[in-house]
Amino acid sequence: MHKFLSEDQAHIEKLLENIVVEANRFLSDLDTLPVGAVVPTDIDSINIPDEGIGAHKTLGFFKERYASWISGSAGPRYYGFVTGGVTPAALAGDWLVSVYDQNSLGSDESIAPQVELDTISLLRQLFGLPDDYTGSFVTGATMSNFVGLALGRQWIGHQIGIDFAEKGLWGADPINVFSGAPHSSIYKALSMLGMGREAITKLSCLPNREAIDMAILEDVLKNQNGQPCIVVANAGTVNTVDFDDLAAIAELKTRYKFWMHVDAAFGGFAACSPKYRSLVQGMELADSITIDAHKWLNVPYDSAIQFTRHQELQAEVFQNAAVYLGQEISDSNFVHLTPENSRRLRAMPSWFSLMAYGKQGYAEIVERNCQLAQWLGTQIDLSDTFKLLSPVRLNGICFTLAAEQDTVSLEVIKDYLNSLKENGDVFLTPTVYNDIPAIRVSVTNWRTTQEDMEIAWRAMQREISDNKCQNS
């Protein structure tokens, strides 16, 4: 055995103690770390050592080379992407994932598939989904959307008498996909699936909304003349956290032939709260659903779930032909249900967190985050410095900088956000909403408090004042 492997094995307890020390340092500093790190651009390249340096020195070298620029994106004032933190229970579960190192592809050599099945059951209960939904863990919302749209593609093949999983798309008519405000990952998934980005038709939304106009959707479906298609419904859009009328879309399925995929990556968590649950009414009638665990469930990357009530289609698309992997199609034989064969037991952090905090814990996180978003939205709306572009419906805020002209440029927005990032108190991201350069806020972290929101608000105002002084 290599000498450093042997030494590290002999001193594994000390190595893990050192890791705990570093973890405690980071977690203790998380509330005060710069939320968005300004990474140096002149880092020297490194070479792989011939002999190696052992795990202890490697940890030291890592800390010296990288640790100072690890951002506080897991902390309470990171509102850029829809990013949760990591609950204490999820952290414990995630560490054990690496310790146990189980391949949860579905073999009977381990209890790992049962852990995932149990976690899916807990999530069904959290979201109020019927028992006929099966689910499995994937890497993120993009891959969950990929799976849902792959099933929709296979369903359409069944409607027209072609097994797309076996025959491919060659010679078939293009598949039509309709949505009001699709996430960018929908286009990416369509590209990977061979349907193409141009398969999607964006339909008009309601005035000053990102929710699809139901009258227009029905007209489009009527004009399909019985040809099957896919409708991507949104439960929480990225810019304004708007929701399609899921129940009304599901009702259209009684008259028109389409696959209903609901992208509920983070908006689906509205189901956790009695106050917001009505926003996702009808989600339980979808053919496939995307939920992202590393968003509002607050578990580590990478973790998302795909739900469907059409497991037989899933097996047709993703079945693996290797005899040694077993051919049985079942809820727990995940090798036949997702793009991956080998897969880490990424369900376990979710299991730990769901069991540790339960329905009430997640309801509290969701409602507190929404209350804080409402507070910040109110400050923005009352300010002469900023302009709120959409009502605060859940945990997201969309606004822009106030200006004498109708809009400011995207470059001005980006300069402002870069200054905020360098300040380190809050991290926000740019967007464009209704052709207006804008800024997004997403409050998703279990750590976030009123004090954090006030720190962020002061930083947002201060940066505007500083810029005005510099430009005057």
Chain segment 270-295, per-residue pLDDT in tens: 999 999 999 999 999 999 999 999 99
What is the pLDDT at residue 41?
81
CATH assignment of the domain containing 221: 3.40.640.10
Best-predicted range by mean pLDDT among 315-329, 347-361, 417-431?
347-361
99 and 41 belong to one structural domain: no
Residue 389 lies inside a defined structural domain of this protein: no
What is the pLDDT averaged over residues 96-109?
87
More confident residue, 341 or 122: 122
| Residue-range definition of the domain harbouring residue 211 | 91-353
What is the pLDDT at residue 170?
92
- pLDDT tens by residue, 127-150: 999 999 999 999 999 999 999 999
Residue 286 CA, chain-centre distance (Å), reads: 19
Residue 253 lies inside a defined structural domain of this protein: yes
Distance CA 402, CA 387 (A): 5
pLDDT class for 423, splitting at 50, 70, 90? confident
The answer to whether residues 206 and 243 touch, using CB atoms and an 8 Å cutoff, is: no
- In the predicted model, is pLDDT for residue 326 greater than 70? no
Q: Which amino acid would we find at residue 59?
A: L
- In the predicted model, is pLDDT for residue 39 greater than 90? no
What is the pLDDT at residue 468?
56
182 and 331 belong to one structural domain: yes
Residue 182 lies inside a defined structural domain of this protein: yes
What is the pLDDT averaged over residues 435-453?
96
Residue 401 lies inside a defined structural domain of this protein: no
What is the pLDDT at residue 72?
87
184 and 299 belong to one structural domain: yes
96 and 67 belong to one structural domain: no
What is the pLDDT at residue 324?
54
Residue 305 lies inside a defined structural domain of this protein: yes
User: Smallest Cα–Cα separation from 237: which of 214, 208, 195, 196?
Assistant: 208
Residue 449 lies inside a defined structural domain of this protein: no
Residue 381 lies inside a defined structural domain of this protein: no
11 and 128 belong to one structural domain: no
Domain final residue pick, 322, 353, 384 = 353
- pLDDT tens by residue, 171-203: 899 999 999 999 999 999 999 999 999 999 999
Percent of the chain beyond pLDDT 70?
Answer: 96
100 and 235 belong to one structural domain: yes
- In the predicted model, is pLDDT for residue 404 greater than 80? no
Percent of the chain beyond pLDDT 90?
Answer: 82
pLDDT class for 472, splitting at 50, 70, 90? very low
Domain final residue pick, 332, 353, 374 = 353
Task: Indicate the number of domains in the chain.
Answer: 2
Average pLDDT, the chain: 93
227 and 127 belong to one structural domain: yes
Angle between helices 410-423 and 450-471 (to 10 degrees): 120
Distance CA 292, CA 231 (A): 20
Domain final residue pick, 315, 336, 353 = 353
What is the pLDDT averaged over residues 220-230?
97
258 and 340 belong to one structural domain: yes
95 and 63 belong to one structural domain: no
> pTM, whole model, 2 decimals?
0.95
Note every long-range contact of 161-167, with CB atoms under 8 Å and residues 24 or more positions apart, other chains counting: 163/316, 165/316, 165/317
245 and 102 belong to one structural domain: yes
193 and 148 belong to one structural domain: yes
140 and 288 belong to one structural domain: yes
What is the pLDDT at residue 71?
87
Residue 383 lies inside a defined structural domain of this protein: no
pLDDT class for 430, splitting at 50, 70, 90? very high
